Chains A and B, each alone.
Chain A
Amino acid sequence: MDNTRKPTHFYILDFANGFLSLSDIQKAKLLLYGVSLNALYLAALIFGIHFLPPELSQTLNKNTASNIIFMAIFYGFFAFIAGVTGELLEFSSKVIQDVYIYTAILMFCTGSLFVAHMLGDLTIITGVATSGAPIAGMVLFETRKLLHSFFFATLIYIIIVLLTFLGFARYAPLINDVTNYTSNPVWIGLVFLSAIPNIVVIMSIGIASILSWKKREQETIYLSQKDVLTGANNRRHLMDLLTQSIHNALLNKTPLCLMMVDIDHFKNINDTYGHLIGDKVIKHLSDLIASNLHGVAYFGRYGGEEFCLVTPYTQEEKALEQAEHLLHVINHTPFIFQPDNGSQEIQIHLTVSIGISSLRLDETYLHATDTLLFESDQAMYDIKRGGRNGAKMYAV
């Protein structure tokens, strides 16, 4: 992969990698600090509503509100103390660490349940806690621990919902039921603002870790599919792609052409300038082919100095045209390099021989790949015999 090009989400990925490489207990510690901050934020939010004009602030159940502010501050303080305790437990035994991690997850669960209950169990807060939170949790902690905690939390949630449904407990005790609260801006604002921090944190953890995992997977795939020297597809991957394309072409009766590109007198270049320059010439040719690909065409390094170019959805005449264009480009772009001894630049004028074959649509699927490769090879050798530097379609 190109090292000089930095992806736009570079910083997010860095952050995610740093976060994921923390130890479990450090993550639990951060989670507890988060819970503590969130509780204080909620307390401040509810306290702020008292300053609104009376027709708005009367939506709030004043008695419950003061109780909740007190409880939230207490909860936040407790979570903060628990977080600080985590600093001391870094090297303690595994059992204590497990207990600590369970405590952190459960404090998060009960905190969200509590907030959700205060503003209504059927709100967005519950939705986030039941969908995004498990995913972010699974990313961060052991799945088993998370399952246990969520089983517990779900049980409590079901009980609360049943109680409110049957009328034993009040729905949204923070809100006075006097008015139709769903059209009340205070309720909408409270629910929205209390859900926002959760959504932002959960989504950024989830997205960042998924992106970084995906990137790692892509890098692995890249290493297994690309040629080290040129960055083009390697032979194995090229064959996979070709088989797939031939399958599609035979199924849909669309044309497909294959070009075999071979550098003329490559041995001379190696012998004259050394293998290092020879490698650079191959890279040069690969870059030229890559910048002259049309549409869905793709290519790969087939052998030492042989490249194989596959053009799906292309008629024979069109393929020949493309090959001649490629020849033209290669002939007019010499490889230039500065020798080590400081003498003047050397230009190597490259010529290539291109053999083209097209897929016959009555071909059976089993033999199509071999036939295509064989025919393009034959066409290429015809060019070689006839003076090189040309393109030719295989003729039966």
Chain B
Amino acid sequence: MPKCTQYNRQCAPPVKLNLFGRLNQYLLNYVSDVFEWPQSKKAQFINAISALICISQISVIYILLQFDLPKQHALHPIIHQYGIEYLFFSFCLYASMFMCGQFLRHTHPKIQAIYSFLSLLAYGVGAVIITYLLGPLSIATGVTLTMSPLVGLILFSNRLIAIVAICVFPIGTTCFILVAIGKIPYTILIESTQSMHQNISLLALMYGTGLPFLLLTLFIAYACIERWKQRELIVQTLSTTDSLTSLANRGVFLDEIESYLSRPRMHRKALSVLMMDLDDFKQINDRFGHLVGDDVLKNIAQTLQFITREEDLVARYGGEEFCILLPNTNRETAEAIAKRILTAVTETTTRKDNRTINVTTSIGLTTADAQQLNSGKVTVDMLLGAIDAGMYTSKTLGKNTLYFNPLPI
């Protein structure tokens, strides 16, 4: 994916991804399909996840039963008796709901909505039961409590999630209050809660089933947020950059001057602004055609990007006019930079059918020093007027030159 750091930094060329990056890209592409699915298909997906969690729990309990664990490491006998039956029953429930979804794919929208609601409700109630079994204040509660609403909101409509939350939340709260006032034990999964952290069975059950769920849901959220961020970046890039040269556009340039002028006193030292206009550019367009003219502009833009510093802002102001904002730069440094630009532009060549095209430029420059900035009289229009007039003076002085035009205060 293209990664643009700031407005005026050009889009980086596609980098070669390492194994992790390629895997990430592949998974992102795969998961982003999920967001395009219809709601009932997503509900089916949730059923599949619930069923898979049941299977993983069954297998963990089954493996634990194979070991003859000492009493303090074992689960409660009730779990040994009924645990697998309960989990198998809920697996069958989720699996049959998954299968039902397959047949309901093309039915009446209301039926589909009811199906989605029932699937989410089944998921929610299952989650409450599991979190109670692992302990109402255990990691599992934290994960399901925060993860389910967020991922739910990402995948489903707001109203559906609100209704399911209203149905499930009271059940969980009641369960928690009963534990807090001592009516029901903290957990019936294990016999003694005294050394929970050293109980192999509990830890295996907790991590063995919780971790895959956590990773899966985190990845869904990551994929969706990444997608949104990328889309926002594209919109932002389109609205702030010039499409031909990928430089910042005129609006961004004006905004940046404005924001520099409104900085607090200690963060603004001196501001230099520079405007350059390519000399006799119309002739290039007339002689070689507009396509070549565009190429010249692109090359010049690249040169400007290359020779300015990280914090400078290069913008395309008009047709063949470029503006550069040099923050915290005094007159001497700005003039040095401008001279460097003059030579760099003359050295930039564009090739067209064995012919080379070189252009020159005229620069108008101005600097507002700390004293002028602090007086509060400096405005955007004043700066623009100064550099514009400076540029025209350097044109009349014979082009390919630089003119410093002090501010009129």
Interface positions of A (Cβ within 8 A of B): 90-91, 93-94, 120-132, 134-135, 138-139, 143, 161, 164-165, 167, 171, 177, 180-183, 185, 188-189, 191-192, 195, 199, 202-203, 206-207, 210-211, 213-214, 217, 247-248, 251-252, 296, 313
Contacts and interface: CB of A to CB of B under 8 A. Distances in A.
A128 B196 contact: no
B154 interface: yes
A126 B134 CA distance: 14
Interface string B173-203: 0000001101001110000111111100001
Given A135-B218, A188-B180, 20 more contacts: A93-B311, A122-B135, A122-B139, A126-B142, A127-B143, A127-B145, A128-B143, A131-B142, A131-B143, A131-B218, A134-B221, A165-B198, A171-B196, A171-B197, A177-B194, A180-B193, A181-B193, A203-B149, A210-B150, A248-B107
A313 B108 contact: yes
Contacts of A188: 137, 179-180
A279 B149 CA distance: 44
A126 B139 contact: yes
Contacts of B353: none
Nearest to A189: B180
B263 interface: yes
B193 A124 contact: no
Given A138-B225, A177-B194, A252-B106, A192 B137 contact: yes
Given A135-B218, A207-B153, A313-B108, A127 B182 contact: no
B332 interface: no
A94 B310 contact: yes
A131 B146 contact: yes
Contacts of A131: 142-143, 146-147, 214, 217-218
B193 A128 contact: no
Contacts of A143: 222, 225-226, 229
A213 B150 CA distance: 13
B267 A182 contact: no
B206 interface: yes
Nearest to A7: B158
B198 A203 contact: no
A134 B214 CA distance: 11
Given A182-B135, A313-B108, A132 B147 contact: yes
Interface SS, B side: helix
B137 A124 contact: yes
A216 to B, nearest CB: 9
Contacts, number: 141
26 contacts: A93-B311, A121-B197, A122-B197, A123-B138, A123-B139, A124-B141, A125-B142, A127-B140, A130-B139, A131-B217, A131-B218, A143-B225, A143-B226, A161-B197, A165-B198, A165-B203, A182-B137, A182-B187, A183-B185, A189-B180, A195-B142, A203-B150, A210-B154, A214-B153, A214-B158, A248-B106
A138 B150 contact: no
Given A199-B145, A252-B107, A130 B214 contact: yes
Given A138-B221, A138-B225, A128 B194 contact: no
Interface in B121-174: 135, 137-147, 149-150, 153-154, 158
Interface string B241-272: 00000000000000000000001000100000
A296 B108 CA distance: 9
Nearest to B228: A213
B106 A91 contact: no
B212 interface: no
A251 B102 CA distance: 13
Contacts of A210: 150, 153-154
A393 B119 CA distance: 41
B109 interface: yes
A121 B135 CA distance: 13
Contact of B186 (A91, A182, A192): A182
A124 B149 contact: no
A127 B138 contact: yes
A134 B219 CA distance: 11
Contacts of A127: 138-146
A24 B119 CA distance: 39
A91 B327 CA distance: 11
A165 B187 CA distance: 20
Nearest to A91: B267
Nearest to B263: A91
